[in-house]
Structure 1
């Protein structure tokens, strides 16, 4: 690959878009190259910035009296962000072992960011759950009474069976990481959001209402203060303006 691409230093200097473009063009080949370690460092830096953004949003929402709760009828209280636990490294290793190839960006998220659940109710914005609040559950710490590995494994096994029975219609496997925007608001909706696997690339494809690179999805969500879907209410924009300041670009 020639001289060092200096991805990390360029990324920190503000060339995030250019660095991601170069890494995506290399596809899975970067994992076998001498620059695989630097590519992972870029992903780790991305995750540290994402954690900063998540913590800032949660801190501001908490200060405004936001109630983080599950998307159930009881609105069971929960935490907006649970940092990586002692099993995070093992979870990242299990994902790679089970699914063969997992994008580096998702592995960095597991190890550095943790689980995020911004579903809840804002005191001045009663329908805040309809704003498609950011949710990413990879370690499964918000639901300690159930195994997220079993959940992932069930979906993987079912997809493999679909592949065997009807390969033309099985589609790609999507690791389910979040309910869709309807289920977040506790109404009937579609399939979950998640990462397309297996994928050896540095940054993977995130499947939600459409499909786009994971980091592009995160940048879009953070630009909107964690609530990207417009609800048509003026209150949403007033809340959003208070949330977006200080967001770091990934």
Structure 2
């Protein structure tokens, strides 16, 4: 921790600045009306409550008080490291709704660097706001002692059992790269803090152990990729050798060929897929059975897609049949073989059967992006996540990007091949949104998860949800729609229109 002495001039300047700042804040009625929220508190808010919370900050910035001089004074207090300002700065950091002022207060507290100031910042490790977590980690990484002793506890099993803990751990990993802190911050860091993997084996072992972690894997692989290959290479080679000799998880109970197929044909559709989902790694017997079940399933999916698309179009939904159901790609078999060679593993049966039998389902009304919706068709359904799953040929750009990005990486930090299968629900409505929905390969089981989609479903369950919702996956998000101004009359119109869509739904 850096400690610099203040001159008498700095003391006088600091006292005048603090007095001026406090006078300005006394005339600012909204200065302390929004407390910081933790990740758990934010998750507990309804859509309407979240909107109100955000609007407090927006209104405060747009209000009559000019916050810029206050922010300038705060930054100067930090530069002077004027310790008597710490209580006022903590109050601004913890409750000021004007974001630029709170940001200035946080950085000033770090510059002043007293125990009280650093403790206030350290408490933000589970803040909903990214800056709170970043400042807490910045304090931890510059505390006295080793980085591992100060930050390593974030990777305990207890911490990683919560969303807040995972978020903090992910951002801590993100700061392990030598490029994480600006150059001006390196002066206050030890050599170990600037390059922890090279100076503390515990960080290297942690990142290697987390490289396949569901949530932390991308950050761990990024850190390993940025580090010195002379340091990471031997550890990754050892991890690869260990992976090669590890035995695969047994499939489970004995399976008699034909059992699952017979059960599926007898109507136990979900039970069969539940049993398949319980097998982490398919052996030859289970894979052969899974492939037959997947073919039967996707034949039913194709019939559902055809029937539903016709019903939607008949009720005015603005797509055309050739767009919605263009069929499998002509080169699907060649691409499936190539994909197996690239990933070193067969394509999961559910996904392979979909691409072979169905190919594409696209109910996204892209024709309305620059034109009005047809009369009588509720436009609100555009953000209800209409079903879209692309064929393998269309999704192949994901494979090419992955190959290009992984060309120079150690095989153990390449990471999964994320194949894009659909845009996220906002992009489907021509609104800037988030990551596309994807599946990760290789996957040794029968039915991979659909990633970056809020319901966390396997591929077949994702299809089930879509067909149960008559082609829409976010009909359960009506609170969010209300918060954005959808009226009761519009809900009634939407409900009535959906009820008018009738199609023959086949269980699968």
TM-score bracket relative to the smaller structure: 0.7 to 0.9
Size of the alignment, in residue pairs?
232
Pair 1:107 & 2:352 matched:
yes
Structure showing greater Rg: 2
- Of 293, 303, 318 in structure 2, the residue corresponding to residue 67 of structure 1 is 318
- Of 285, 289, 293 in structure 2, the residue corresponding to residue 42 of structure 1 is 293
- Of 371, 391, 395 in structure 2, the residue corresponding to residue 138 of structure 1 is 391
Structure 1 residues 94-123: Cα deviation after superposition (integer angstroms, max 9, x where no partner): 322223332110000010001111001563
Pair 1:125 & 2:378 matched:
yes
- Of 41, 51, 55 in structure 1, the residue corresponding to residue 306 of structure 2 is 55
- Give the Å deviation of 1:234: 2.8
- Give the Å deviation of 1:163: 7.0
**2:308·2:504 contact (CA, 8 Å) conserved in 1?**
no
- Of 396, 405, 408 in structure 2, the residue corresponding to residue 149 of structure 1 is 396
- 206-215 vs 219-228, which moves further: 206-215
**2:332·2:356 contact (CA, 8 Å) conserved in 1?**
yes
- Give the Å deviation of 1:27: 2.3
Structure 1 residues 116-138: Cα deviation after superposition (integer angstroms, max 9, x where no partner): 11001563112332110111112
Distance 1:216 1:2, change over 3 A: closer
Q: Which residue of 1 aligns with 2:342?
A: 98
- 113-122 vs 234-243, which moves further: 234-243
Distance 1:4 1:60, change over 3 A: same
- Give the Å deviation of 1:80: 1.0
Pair 1:222 & 2:471 matched:
no
Distance 1:239 1:6, change over 3 A: farther
Distance 1:210 1:161, change over 3 A: farther
Structure 1 residues 147-171: Cα deviation after superposition (integer angstroms, max 9, x where no partner): x42343214543x37975x95xx87
- 55-64 vs 42-51, which moves further: 55-64
Query: What is the TM-score normalised by the length of structure 2?
Result: 0.42
Pair 1:3 & 2:256 matched:
yes
Unaligned runs of 5+ in 1: 70-76, 142-147
- Give the Å deviation of 1:228: 1.7
**2:382·2:428 contact (CA, 8 Å) conserved in 1?**
yes
Higher RCO, 1 vs 2 (CA within 8 Å, ≥6 residues apart): 1
| Structure 1 or 2: more helix by fraction | 2
- Give the Å deviation of 1:79: 0.9
Structure 1 residues 70-98: Cα deviation after superposition (integer angstroms, max 9, x where no partner): xxxxxxx9711111143222222232222
**1:224·1:244 contact (CA, 8 Å) conserved in 2?**
no
Measure the CA separation in 2 of the matches of 1:81 and 1:183.
Answer: 20
Secondary structure at the counterpart of residue 29 of structure 1: coil
**1:180·1:192 contact (CA, 8 Å) conserved in 2?**
yes
- Give the Å deviation of 1:41: 0.8
Structure 1 residues 195-243: Cα deviation after superposition (integer angstroms, max 9, x where no partner): 1211021111111225321111111111001112125533332333344
Measure the CA separation in 1 of the matches of 2:267 and 2:408.
Answer: 44
Distance 1:196 1:239, change over 3 A: farther
Measure the CA separation in 1 of the matches of 2:425 and 2:403.
Answer: 23
Q: Which residue of 1 aligns with 2:148?
A: none
Measure the CA separation in 2 of the matches of 1:36 and 1:140.
Answer: 24
Measure the CA separation in 1 of the matches of 2:407 and 2:454.
Answer: 25
Pair 1:249 & 2:502 matched:
no
Q: Which residue of 2 aligns with 1:176?
A: 420
**2:390·2:421 contact (CA, 8 Å) conserved in 1?**
yes
